[in-house]
Structure 1
Amino acid sequence: MTAALRKALIAAGHSSELVFEEAFTAAQVDTSKLPEGPFKVTFPKSDKTVIWKRENGSLLELAEAQGIKITNGCRAGQCESCEVRILGGECTHRIEVNHDGGETCLACQAVPTADLLIDA
């Protein structure tokens, strides 16, 4: 569909340099390389501490399963909208992401590597 739309826009006179398209696919995660857990993940704004294990998936998936709101638009192509501040502990991303790390992580791809406190 996007290829046909691109072709139609160019045929209608739009500059090909100004026609932009994106295609999203789910990244394949090798879960065998992820930490197993269990780790405590604390969400102070929600006043909840929950246990994370490998089968819980990302921090975003863990939060959603517990009814904890983390702002995100990840499934709609709004990359980095799920960025949360790490208040304590450690985490890693399940896949290679274009993110500097440090004091924040991308909740849609982050998993704890130790007990974790995040600003959510």
Structure 2
Amino acid sequence: MQNCLIEVKISQEITKTGVNPNDVEDFYKQCLSVPNISIKGLMFIAPYSDNPEDSRPYFKQVYNLFEKIRKSSSSYEFDILSMGMSDDYRIALEEGATMVRIGSAIFGKRSYGNK
């Protein structure tokens, strides 16, 4: 069984992908009939901003969607809300994240080959 998260796309950034928030519930229901996968929750990456507080409204929206699906789901395993990265994880935790991605805080900023 492969554990999976559904990526939600709220912002209009072309660098972000995922399922439109209006389609997430139907997509989740469709995934329930796919053999060998188990949908554990949602993931979301907020648009980059120099001010982490700018992420808060996005995190609130994804949290509300997560809670709506979690409450209507018969699966007790829908319990992961992955949102927040090194720059905004504190805000994400305040808004209900159960998983954060803090790679650059541990390993440093990414190098994209610029010399």
- Larger RCO of the pair (alpha carbons < 8 Å, separation 6+): 1
Is TM (by shorter chain) over 0.5? no
Indicate the TM-score class for this superposition, using the shorter chain for normalisation.
under 0.3
Which one has a bigger Cα radius of gyration?
A: 1
- For normalisation by structure 2, the TM-score amounts to 0.27
- For normalisation by structure 1, the TM-score amounts to 0.26
Which has the larger strand fraction?
1
